[in-house]
Amino acid sequence: MTALIEIKGVRHAYPTAAGPLPVLDGLELSVEEGGFCAVVGPSGCGKSTLTRLIAGLMRPDEGEVWLHGERVRGPRSTVGMAFQNPVLLEWRSILKNVMLPLEIVPNGLKGEAAKDRARHLLSLVGLEGFEDKRPSELSGGMRQRASLCRALVHQPEVLILDEPFGALDAFTREDLWQTMHDLKAKEPFTGVLITHDLRESIFLGDQVVVLSGRPARTQYVMTIDRSAPANLEELYTAEAAERLTILRHQIEIAQGRVPEEVAS
């Protein structure tokens, strides 16, 4: 396996009226091709900044970001993104919302091929029959499913998910977690998931990275074997409870609520 995403010694500070605000401090991250990395950390530690760096939407002050052996120096169409707010365009049908990236990326599918691709993805997430609806006619969970299809329609190398399930109720969220696993089995991608939900991180990730408080560095990395098909029942095992305890402890360290030596 080769690393598809490599982040090496990334440092970044935002200029503010009060002077530079250091956000990332020597961050290291490596995600293998086909891997799914869940990133957790205290609020405001720099998680979204990390996603913007991977997508090439900004460049770090120091350090390097590599995607598939190429240094990231600008925005890349080979990255798909989905956010907590699905931001679908109300004047377009669900099908046309999903097709949007194909109109923007160079060499995207056109015409019937584009429609077939969008329809295929919508059927994979259980939205067959909703292609002609407007976004406001769908529930929040359905809109988020459509947004996932839109993020994947141009077969991006990397799918970045920034708290995509954060605004959903607990049952819908768990449904979407299972949908993510089904999607990944049929539409393989390399994923980075930003989340505040530790259960989500261990259910979806094969790697969970805990960032320290701001300025963030990589504080702790947990790897999870994903060779067996995912099943929500696995969240109720002793192994899951142990993982959650470890991660909760790491978050407390990151928040400065527990000294590092107490946890180790």
Ligand X SMILES: Nc1ncnc2c1ncn2[C@@H]1O[C@H](COP(=O)(O)OP(=O)(O)OP(=O)(O)O)[C@@H](O)[C@H]1O
Which of residues 5 and 94 has its CB atom nearest to ligand X in the complex?
A: 5
CA dihedral (206, 195, 27, 67) in degrees, to 10, reads: 60
Which of residues 188 and 256 has its CB atom nearest to ligand X in the complex?
A: 256
Within 13 Å of residue 250, how many CA atoms lie on the same side as its CB?
21
Distance (Å, whole) CA 240 – CA 235: 5
Which of residues 97 and 218 has its CB atom nearest to ligand X in the complex?
A: 218
Which of residues 20 and 188 has its CB atom nearest to ligand X in the complex?
A: 20
Nearest-approach distance from CB 31 to ligand X, in angstroms = 18
Which of residues 48 and 179 has its CB atom nearest to ligand X in the complex?
A: 48
Distance (Å, whole) CA 235 – CA 79: 30
Nearest to 30 by CA among 46, 7, 54: 7
Which residues form the interface with ligand X (CB under 6 A)?
A: 14, 16, 21, 23, 43-49, 214
Do residues 3 and 34 make contact, with C-beta atoms less than 8 angstroms apart?
no
DSSP state of 110: -
Q: Which residue has the tokens 């696993």?
A: 181
Sequence-ordered list of residues with C-beta below 8 angstroms from that of 256, at least 6 positions apart, any chain: 213
Sequence-ordered list of residues with C-beta below 8 angstroms from that of 125, at least 6 positions apart, any chain: 145, 146, 148, 149, 179, 183
Nearest to 101 by CA among 120, 131, 125, 81: 81
Pure H helices in 164-258: 170-186, 198-204, 238-254
Nearest-approach distance from CB 47 to ligand X, in angstroms = 4
Which of residues 175 and 252 has its CB atom nearest to ligand X in the complex?
A: 252
Distance (Å, whole) CA 199 – CA 190: 20
Distance (Å, whole) CA 38 – CA 200: 8
Which of residues 5 and 125 has its CB atom nearest to ligand X in the complex?
A: 5
Pair of tokens at residue 37:
């990395």
Which of residues 23 and 247 has its CB atom nearest to ligand X in the complex?
A: 23
Do residues 198 and 241 make contact, with C-beta atoms less than 8 angstroms apart?
no
